[in-house]
Every structure is written in C-alpha cells, then in structure tokens.
Amino acid sequence: MQAPLKAARTRRGLTLDQVSQAVGTDSGNLSRIENGKQKASPDLAERLAKHFGGEITEIQILYPERFSSK
C-alpha cells in the first residue's frame, strides 16, 4: 500500500530531498513518515498539506492507514 503523502510526491515527480527542504524537515524523517514507521507532527502535516496545495490533507498525512492506496 502506498501512503497518500508518497503518492502525492511521486505524482508530482518530486524527490524526498526536494519536499523535505521545502517544508523544513529531514529527508530521513520524511521517508519514515511515508513508510509508516513514524507519525508526522501536526505542524509538519500542516506544512506538507500547504506545500501540496490541497492535493493532500493534514488528516491524510496524520492517518495514512485510513487513506492508503494499493
């Protein structure tokens, strides 16, 4: 299953480094969030949602298991 955050990032052809720099986090941290090994903080989820311009919501980032695609 692919997390909504990873799906949004790959649809746009962005790398982990590009997104992490844009939202002010570490690329390793972002990778762990995409892979379900770590939860995003509410603040980071908000920054990510803004970065993707509504393509993904904070709720989808905070609770990816509810929205993951196959």
* Domain spans of the chain, in order of start: 4-66
- Return the pLDDT at 69: 66
- Return the pLDDT at 70: 58
Residue 9 reports pLDDT greater than 90: yes
CA pair distance 39, 45, nearest whole angstrom: 9
Residue 2, helix vs strand vs coil: strand
Residue 1 reports pLDDT greater than 80: no
pLDDT tens digits for range 14-70: 999 999 999 999 999 999 999 999 999 999 999 999 999 989 999 999 998 888 765
Residues 12/13/17/21 CA torsion (nearest 10 deg): -30
CATH 1.10.260.40 is held by the domain 4-66: yes
Burial of 9 (0-12, 13-18, 19+ CB in 10 A): buried
